[in-house]
A and B are shown apart, each in its own frame.
Chain A
Amino acid sequence: MVERKDVTVLEPPVLRIEHIWKSFGKVQALKDVSFEVYKGDVLALLGDNGAGKSTLIKIISGNYRADKGKIYLNNQPVSFGSPAEARHAGIETVYQQSPVCLNASVTANFFIGRELCNGLPGIKFLKKRAMRQETEKAMADIGVHIPSVKEKVGLLSGGERQALILGRFFHWGGKIALLDEPFAALGVGEARKSLKLIQHMGQQMRLPIILITHNVEYAFEIATRFVVLRHGEMVGEGKIADVKVDDVVAMITGAIHVRDTN
């Protein structure tokens, strides 16, 4: 087994957040938040309600602009005016109600806006077979097993839908995915499957993922690193392997403050 740390040191971080500040009126939502996400990281972004997780996510995904601070994507400074710009640059947020075309097939959703066509002048005919095969392969690669890619997405489970969105995003060159409370709407069995999928994508396929969740147990199962926010400040960060669940819970609730020790 290769130590993950050794590998990541050689590559620049996929995403680097530097000294982000954000306030809404008199409320200081984020105070000097900095962290990095490397290839192969599943970074758990933890914190209680109102800790600033959502604000941070919205800044990364282009909904808000930071008051101060910089974001680097693959070492290039970026600044997004809208979620569409962020998506275009390769940052996608997947949340519980991420829009998909429920009545369209898995293939149609996978290739939405990027359909393979025969280049006839004027009218473009779909290459259905080729698209189906590519979708089947991509879904198998990310570890999603569905009866048929011809089936409607509406008949997939919530976890499978998230997997479809994630798989599609990375297939088309997405750089980093932000998962906003992916387990909240799922049943226990479904959440288990979803955990396995995210773990597979993050650790075997080495796709960078930021996981925002309340559920510390789940974060411990699949994340490689963590960042804890409390009242807009980073109160802890590190490798999941180095800490215990109780310590992280303590950071979230404010019982201990470990940032300085890092």
Chain B
Amino acid sequence: MTENSGKSVAVLREGKLSIKGNRKAVLRWILDHMVWFILFFVLVVLSCSIRGFAQWGIFRNILYHAVFVGVLAIGEAICIISKEMDLSVESVAGLAAIMTAWLTGTGLDASGILLNGYLALLVVLAMGAIIGAFNAILVVNYKISSFIVTLAGYLMFRALALVVTNGHGVTRLRPEVVMVARTKLFSIPLMVVLLLFIYIAFYIFVTQTRFGQHIYLVGDSREASYNAGIRIGRVLFGVFMLSGMLAGLTGWLLAARTNGAAPNIGMGMLFEAMAAVVIGGVSLQGGVGNLAGVLAGAILLSTIATAVSLLGMPPFYMNVIRGGFIIIAVLLDALVQRIRPYLM
């Protein structure tokens, strides 16, 4: 008797599930890609409310300006996924930009070496990797909190570059560097193509490779990872070195865009990168995050900046709106986490 009634309930539930199953899967997919929907929503609202917003030139501009924060944010994202933090990225990018300009520039304060731009890229990537390894040694071997280590790095590295150039900026770089910022492929800036390419490569890296998986596991539970024999120190070395290299690449791209590097180049990018990471749904608890979301976060920030300047609002409004978006993103994420278990 009881057996029977139990069965009918189960059938009923299954019946409901089969109707609702697809809808649930769709809802789950929407929740997991919330940032893209927010971005889309914001773009639609702006297109409707600002005259002249909805055109390819504006969208291209938004994407172009998302490149630098976008690349920087990848490194920050994988650091935070592994439950560490890298505050030095902005200064490393600044250092790399000034180094690029110093090595390849023809201006007064340049080195006069006139190094080939691609060799300069290798130099700044190596530099980023070394700085990352330096951060990792202090974090892994000396067990200092990465927040402290990279805070020190944040203060140090940009200043180091200015020691080299006597506190001056450098202008007029070699053409192969500048070319990267000015080339377009079928009216899409090469920089944007590069951004997408880098995101796809890193997306595959973190989701499809063993090392990528270990970044998530180490960030999720150090103890479980240790018990399973994952070499946590090695993973963190990789994470910090990648973050440093991406910051080096960002610096090179920044120097290419401005055809030179001022002492304050890229200033404030750390917080933008952090904002992109957080808006993109990466949790500071570690072990959670999706690079696709981070890209959407970077584009969203760039959209806001573009809209604010199009509207002719004073630039300080920008950070009010950005801060608001961070709060909204975090609140939405908390809501999503509550809802998600019901959508199994």
Give complex CA distance A124, B286 in Å: 23
Interface contact B216-A103, CB-CB below 8 Å = yes
Tell yes or no: B13 within 8 A of A by CB: no
Interface Cβ pair total, 8 Å cutoff: 62
Distance between A89 CB and nearest chain B CB, rounded to angstroms: 14
Q: Which chain B residues border A140 with CB–CB below 8 Å?
A: none
Q: Which chain A residues border B344 with CB–CB below 8 Å?
A: 147, 151, 155
Closest to B81 in A: A103
Distance between B226 CB and nearest chain A CB, rounded to angstroms: 8
Q: Which residue from B208, B220, B227, B228 sits with its C-beta under 8 Å from A102?
A: B220
Interface contact B213-A87, CB-CB below 8 Å = no
Closest to A102 in B: B220
Distance between A20 CB and nearest chain B CB, rounded to angstroms: 25
Distance between B237 CB and nearest chain A CB, rounded to angstroms: 16
The 4 lowest CB-CB distance pairs between A and B, nearest first, are: A113-B228, A101-B220, A99-B223, A99-B224
Tell yes or no: A18 within 8 A of B by CB: no
Closest to B216 in A: A104
Tell yes or no: A184 within 8 A of B by CB: no
Interface contact B213-A108, CB-CB below 8 Å = yes
Q: Which chain A residues border B106 with CB–CB below 8 Å?
A: none
Closest to A88 in B: B229
Interface size class of B (residues with CB under 8 A): 20 to 34
Q: Which residue from B209, B225, B287, B288 sits with its C-beta under 8 Å from A112?
A: B225
**What are the interface flags for A79-116 relative to B under an 8 Å C-beta threshold, 1 for contact and 0 otherwise?**
00000100100000000000111111000110011110
Tell yes or no: A1 within 8 A of B by CB: no
**What are the interface flags for A122-143 relative to B under an 8 Å C-beta threshold, 1 for contact and 0 otherwise?**
0111101000000000000000
Give complex CA distance A102, B287 in Å: 9
Q: Which chain B residues border A245 with CB–CB below 8 Å?
A: none
Interface contact B223-A126, CB-CB below 8 Å = no
Q: Which chain B residues border A151 with CB–CB below 8 Å?
A: 344
Interface contact A155-B341, CB-CB below 8 Å = yes
Q: Which residue from B213, B221, B224, B229 sits with its C-beta under 8 Å from A126?
A: B213
Tell yes or no: B210 within 8 A of A by CB: yes
Query: Given contacts A123-B209, A126-B208, is CB(A104)–CB(B287) below 8 Å?
Result: yes
Q: How many residues of A contact B (CB 8 A)?
A: 23
Q: Which chain B residues border A104 with CB–CB below 8 Å?
A: 216-217, 220, 287
Distance between A171 CB and nearest chain B CB, rounded to angstroms: 13
Interface contact A101-B221, CB-CB below 8 Å = yes
Tell yes or no: A78 within 8 A of B by CB: no
Give complex CA distance A100, B221 in Å: 7
B residues at A contact (CB < 8 Å): 205, 208-211, 213, 216-217, 220-221, 223-225, 227-230, 283, 287-288, 341, 344
Give complex CA distance A126, B211 in Å: 9
Give complex CA distance A117, B208 in Å: 10
Q: Which chain A residues border B227 with CB–CB below 8 Å?
A: 84, 87, 99
Distance between B24 CB and nearest chain A CB, rounded to angstroms: 11
Give complex CA distance A108, B207 in Å: 11
Interface contact B209-A124, CB-CB below 8 Å = yes
Interface contact A108-B216, CB-CB below 8 Å = yes
Query: Given contacts A87-B227, A104-B287, is CB(A126)–CB(B220) below 8 Å?
Result: no
Q: Which residue from A102, A115, A155 sits with its C-beta under 8 Å from B213?
A: A115
Query: Given contacts A99-B221, A124-B210, is CB(A114)–CB(B287) below 8 Å?
Result: no
Interface contact A126-B209, CB-CB below 8 Å = yes
Q: Which residue from A87, A108, A117, A147 sits with its C-beta under 8 Å from B217?
A: A108
Q: Which residue from A87, A103, A125 sits with its C-beta under 8 Å from B220?
A: A103
Q: Which residue from B221, B230, B341 sits with its C-beta under 8 Å from A113?
A: B230
Query: Given contacts A113-B229, A113-B230, A147-B344, is CB(A103)–CB(B288) below 8 Å?
Result: yes
Q: Can you spell out 9 A-B residue pairs with CB atoms less than 8 angstroms apart?
A: A99-B221, A102-B220, A102-B221, A103-B220, A104-B216, A112-B217, A113-B225, A115-B213, A123-B209
Q: Which chain A residues border B228 with CB–CB below 8 Å?
A: 112-114
Q: Which chain A residues border B230 with CB–CB below 8 Å?
A: 112-113
Give complex CA distance A103, B208 in Å: 17
Query: Given contacts A87-B227, A155-B341, is CB(A101)–CB(B209) below 8 Å?
Result: no
Give complex CA distance A99, B224 in Å: 5
Query: Given contacts A101-B217, A147-B344, is CB(A112)–CB(B210) below 8 Å?
Result: no
Closest to A101 in B: B220
Which of A113, A128, A151 neighbours the largest number of chain B CB atoms within 10 Å of its CB? A113
Q: Which chain B residues border A112 with CB–CB below 8 Å?
A: 217, 224-225, 228, 230
Interface contact B223-A125, CB-CB below 8 Å = no
Give complex CA distance A147, B217 in Å: 22
Q: Which chain A residues border B341 with CB–CB below 8 Å?
A: 155
Interface contact B208-A101, CB-CB below 8 Å = no
Q: Which chain B residues border A125 with CB–CB below 8 Å?
A: 208-210
Q: Which chain B residues border A128 with CB–CB below 8 Å?
A: 208
Give complex CA distance A104, B219 in Å: 10
Interface contact B208-A100, CB-CB below 8 Å = no
Interface contact B288-A101, CB-CB below 8 Å = no
Distance between B243 CB and nearest chain A CB, rounded to angstroms: 18
Give complex CA distance A125, B223 in Å: 24
Closest to A87 in B: B227
Give complex CA distance A123, B214 in Å: 13
Query: Given contacts A125-B209, A126-B208, is CB(A101)–CB(B229) below 8 Å?
Result: no
